[in-house]
Amino acid sequence: MRIIDKLPFISPPQDRYTLFSSISIPSVRKKNQQVFSFAIDSPFYRGLGFDKSYKPFIKPFEKIFPEDTPIDELFQHFEEELKKYVNNNLLNPKVKIGTYIPTKYGLLKTYSFPRTLKKSEFLQSIELYIEQDISEHFSNTEVIYTYSILEGNKDEPYRVLVVIVERDFVLKIENLLHKFNLKADLISYEPICVVNLGLLKRLPQPFSILYTDINKILLVSFYKNHISYESFSFLFTGEKPNEDLLNLILWDIRNYIVLNNLNNIYLAGIVTEYEDITSIFLERLPIFGIITIDKFPNRFALTYTLGERLLNG
């Protein structure tokens, strides 16, 4: 199953970052294949490694730091974590590795163009729109970007899905892995991973997922012709949250849901591990269902999804 189809005459910038990683389920998996997926996003990192039978060879791990910890410090600590697995030969070049760029280090946009455009006009228009977004959102930052074409009928406009991410974050990942003679087989973007979680769980389309993590609430909506998302800052520490502050955030989220006419909303991520917090979400928001991943703690939903992509890619 692919959510992205490229038009035959479209040649996006050549890079090896599969920012559009989609879920595909082939009939045969490679024998003894192992995958390791991780996430680094202030103030935490986490990871897990498992094989095609979902047996973990690296048990799910996570470390949470003070809220103001610089991202470079997290990378330093994560390097020490990796060193243990490399020294024990749990991580080696045969293991497929994947991660994602956190939402705040990138941008996802959907552009629409009439099908009457010629190939050259179409390509020039895409590049112009991308340059405008880079100027507006990344004026002093080097970026990596890629784009692809959403599926559509012949009588519908071309819809181009664009992902732009900060180059520095990608280089941090590559340089870290290179120290251990490792490389990333998959580098995705967090909102795309949330979409793939919904596809993996075979949610009826269109759908929206309210994904919760230690440092954010991310609402991602997937439609046939576009993907939209909004991030809300909130810190989940495992302790009972400040209910007044949480209510304010949930009020903002509810307003966003109403203004954008969202439905089929599913709750996923870290809050689903806490019954009392889950109840607050269910009471105050029009949640249609809850996503669990069964095999690992729910906070590992996206790293698990990356692992599925690595196994089936």
Q: Where are the domains of the chain?
A: 34-102+169-189+304-312, 104-166, 202-300
Beta-carbon count within 10 A of 181 CB: 10
Fold identical between 34-102+169-189+304-312 and 202-300?
yes
Structure tokens at 67: 């809220």
- pLDDT (mean) for 131-148: 92
> How far is 303 from 90, CA to CA, in rounded Å?
17
Q: Which has more pLDDT, 40 or 152? A: 40
Q: Has residue 133 got a pLDDT over 90?
A: yes
Confidence of residue 10 (pLDDT cuts 50, 70, 90): very low
Confidence of residue 149 (pLDDT cuts 50, 70, 90): confident
- pLDDT (mean) for 237-242: 78
Domain 202-300 classification at class level: alpha beta
Q: Has residue 19 got a pLDDT over 60?
A: no
Query: What are the backbone angles phi and psi of residue 92, rounded to the nearest 5°?
Result: -155, 175
Query: What are the backbone angles phi and psi of residue 60, rounded to the nearest 5°?
Result: -55, 130
> How far is 69 from 226, CA to CA, in rounded Å?
35
> How far is 266 from 290, CA to CA, in rounded Å?
5
Sign of CA pseudo-dihedral 126, 127, 130, 135:
negative
Domain 34-102+169-189+304-312: assigned CATH number: 3.30.420.40
Q: Running DSSP on this structure, what letter comes out for residue 223?
A: -
120-124, 253-257, 268-272, 296-300: segment of lowest average pLDDT? 120-124
pLDDT value of residue 152? 75
Q: Has residue 15 got a pLDDT over 50?
A: no
> How far is 201 from 196, CA to CA, in rounded Å?
8
